Amino acid sequence: MPFLELEGKPDLENNPRELVGDVVVGSGSQATWRLSGSDLAARHFRIAVGSGGAQVTPASPQNVVVLNGEQVPTDGSPLASGDIVAAGQARFVFLSDLKAKRPTPVLEMPDAHLIDVTNKKGYTLRRRVVQIGREIGCSIVLKDPTVSRFHADVRAEGGQFVLYAMGSSGTKVNGEPAVVPRLLREGDQIQMGDTTFTFSAQTMPPGIRAVQFEDHEDDAFSRKNTQLAQRAVTMEHGKYAKSQKKALPVVPIAVAAGVLLIVVVLFLVFRHH
């Protein structure tokens, strides 16, 4: 009988987990094997065991599952004993039986970079989530009106780096639209507006300046653009800042009050007559 073992959790109940029929792994109540704190979707992936063997399949096209370093397609991949299945921040080992050989655990992810060759800048991906966009709060701020405020995320998951396209203005990888989360590979060209990044896990090339994300948080140009855009959106929806509340017209109110007073006086005079 095959098993699925969650690495690094020897004291976890039912770990390794015996695989019978279909087993759904995730963080939600509908998961067969429910795991919290591992950055998993509610129903992240499914392992089906049958007479022909076992297969792993993402529960949704939006869920990234990595098998031995490669992204699992939406229609699934077959499993063999010793295979590594990674998802979120968790790493699993598929075992044909409890005595099967385990692979060596991976202690940490290697450094990887996004390199902007045109501007000779390189960004090391040391955060779990790196936000890219026009908004000043993003990890990488792009001064480009064609880029969305929150355009894309690069997330460390499954022991790899995954691109999530967030903005409506489009992101391309190697010339193809990124419509679902995509595992980044060495040399991938990521286009966002007028900027193209090269993904690399190699040493930063000569002539490329390493840039810390914090360097962008005081960018006055990007800050000004973002504030103006937010103000325009606010006004379009009829919302006003506290200092810009609509003042009621004083003169028309005074005239109306005077007319009302005259009408009341005339009514009282004619009533007595």
For residue 273, give Cα distances in angstroms to 260, 264, 270: 21, 15, 5
Question: Are residues 119 and 211 part of one domain?
Answer: yes
Q: Cβ of 10: how many Cβ atoms within 10 Å?
A: 9
Question: Are residues 213 and 140 part of one domain?
Answer: yes
| Full-model pTM | 0.72
3-state SS record for 95-131: ECCCCCCCCCCCCCCCCCEEEECCCCEEEECCCCEEE
Segment 51-108, tens digit of pLDDT: 889 999 999 999 999 999 999 999 999 999 999 999 999 999 999 999 888 888 776 7
> pLDDT at residue 248 above 90?
no
In a domain, 257, yes or no: no
Question: Are residues 7 and 72 part of one domain?
Answer: yes
Q: What CA–CA distance (Å, rounded) separates 106 from 102?
A: 12
For residue 200, give Cα distances in angstroms to 28, 84, 161, 197, 273: 34, 23, 10, 10, 98
Q: What share of the chain is helix, strand, coil (3-state, %, to 5)?
A: 15, 30, 50
Q: What CA–CA distance (Å, rounded) separates 232 from 135?
A: 15
Segment 113-171, tens digit of pLDDT: 999 999 999 999 988 999 999 998 899 999 899 999 999 999 999 889 999 998 666 89
Question: Are residues 120 and 207 part of one domain?
Answer: yes
In a domain, 214, yes or no: yes
Worst-scoring range by mean pLDDT, 153-162, 185-194, 227-236? 227-236
Q: Which pLDDT value is given to residue 224?
A: 43
Question: Are residues 118 and 91 part of one domain?
Answer: no
The CATH number linked to 89 is 2.60.200.20
Beta bridge partners of residue 53, listed in sequence order: 50
Question: Are residues 188 and 138 part of one domain?
Answer: yes
The total of structural domains in the chain comes to: 2
Q: Which pLDDT value is given to residue 51?
A: 86
Task: Identify the domain boundary among 95, 128, 151.
Answer: 95
Question: Are residues 87 and 16 part of one domain?
Answer: yes
Q: What CA–CA distance (Å, rounded) separates 11 from 20?
A: 22
In a domain, 100, yes or no: no
Question: Are residues 122 and 232 part of one domain?
Answer: yes
In a domain, 103, yes or no: no
Neighbour-count burial for 74-86, b at 16+ CB within 10 Å, e otherwise: eebbebeeebbbb
Q: Which residues have C-beta within 8 Å of that of residue 175, sequence separation ≥ 6?
A: 189, 191
Question: Are residues 207 and 158 part of one domain?
Answer: yes
Q: Is residue 12 within 8 Å of residue 6, measured between CB atoms?
A: yes
Question: Are residues 163 and 80 part of one domain?
Answer: no
| Domain range for 130 | 113-236
> pLDDT at residue 269 above 90?
no
Q: What CA–CA distance (Å, rounded) separates 95 from 111?
A: 29
Q: Is residue 174 within 8 Å of residue 189, measured between CB atoms?
A: yes
